Amino acid sequence: RVKEKGRAHYQFYCTDMNSVITNVVTLETHLRKAIEKNELVLYYQPQIDCETGEAKCFEALLRWKDHEFGHISPDVFIPLAEDTGMIISIGNWVIESVCKQIKTWNEKGIDDIRIAINISPKQMNQPNFVPFIQLMIEKYNLNPSSLEIEITEGVMHDTREVVPILFKLKQLGIYISVDDFGTGFSSLNYLKRFPIDGLKIDQSFIKEILSDEKDAAITTTIIHLGKSLGLEVIAEGVEEKEQVSFLRNVGCHKIQGYYFSKPIPVDELEKMFLCSSPMKKILI
Ligand code: C2E
Ligand code: MG
Ligand code: MG
Ligand code: MG
């Protein structure tokens, strides 16, 4: 879908016009304006606990609707933001927005909730990263355990830089999970040395879990590995009931995917998950 043509050229198919646009400077300019005008929005996707059927954790996912190009996927604009350095301001905006949102929920009496934030490697290596999170926790008077940081295996390379950052986050009481687990350079070594709380099995393994023996074996093994290391394991991209059954049978802790819900805006989330618990009935 997305082709990167050198640093300054992204070619992407526009959902609305169904045509190819090859001018990236335009996209970059549009993204800059969207940030300035506060046009990025966060959606939230629930993670369902396999034991209780409850959704108490949600992943925050960025959404951007451009006036001209329509909806642009984060898979397109996040890499662009990383290349241009815009990821720092976007990333800080995401962190602050999530903290503000949790405070709003806290004020409504919702306390046992955790929101996962995706963190880009560039963002994490920025000296201000941990102090900024600390500042936001204080500003919005949050319980740090209501925050989760999702890192990818790509972050793990530079262990000298990353390990102290992760330990600081851990000390603050923030939950740390590894996103897209199994797709990067998964070294078992880092599971031993990094203060990780959870593993998110990448959706590429889940997709054909029912038909592909290898995917089934890999997924089962990751779940057992995670369990024996005391980690919480969550499966991403779950779309079918049979996938849910498979994952529950092999002891997966949590499930995230379209089967339960797509990422949804705040008002919908409040209606569906925070005021009642219809999901409980679906699973149990
Ligand atoms: P991710 O963190 O691995 O997020 C999971 C992606 O899978 C999301 O795509 C989600 O909408 C999608 N998904 C969830 N359930 C299903 C399912 O059942 N089937 C299928 N086919 N897809 C499912 P999305 O929202 O388009 O985000 C794509 C990626 O963009 C994310 O992958 C993450 O790497 C990045 N991203 C999104 N928001 C942020 C952000 O705030 N900061 C950073 N740094 N990256 C972000
Ligand atoms: Mg994620
Ligand atoms: Mg993922
Ligand atoms: Mg991903």
How far away, in angstroms, is 107 Cα from ligand 3 center?
30
- Identify the H or E element spanning 92: helix 87-107
Q: ipTM, 2 decimals?
A: 0.98
Q: How far is the CA of 149 from the centre of ligand 2 (A)?
A: 9
Residue 167 pLDDT more than 70?
yes
pLDDT tens for 217-259 read 999 999 999 999 999 999 999 999 999 999 999 999 999 999 9
Closest CA to 252 of 201, 196, 184: 201
pLDDT single digits (tens) 260-270 = 999 999 999 99
Taking phi over 0 as left and psi of -120 to 50 as alpha, with beta for the rest, 40 belongs to beta
Q: pTM for the complete prediction?
A: 0.92
158's tokens: 């530079």
pLDDT tens across 121-147, in order? 999 989 999 999 999 999 999 999 999
Instruction: List the 20-21 sheet strands across, edge first.
Output: 3-5, 9-13, 20-21
The beta-strand segments (E) located in 67-158 are: 70-72, 114-118, 147-152
- Give the Å distance between the CA of 155 and the centre of ligand 4: 14
Ligand 1 pocket mutation pick from 95, 118, 126, 152 by most atoms within 8 angstroms of CB: 118
Distances (CA, A) of 194 to 59, 168, 209: 22, 11, 28
Residues in CB range of 135: below 8 A, 6 or more apart: none
Smallest CA-to-CA distance from 182 within 214, 225, 222, 216 is with 222
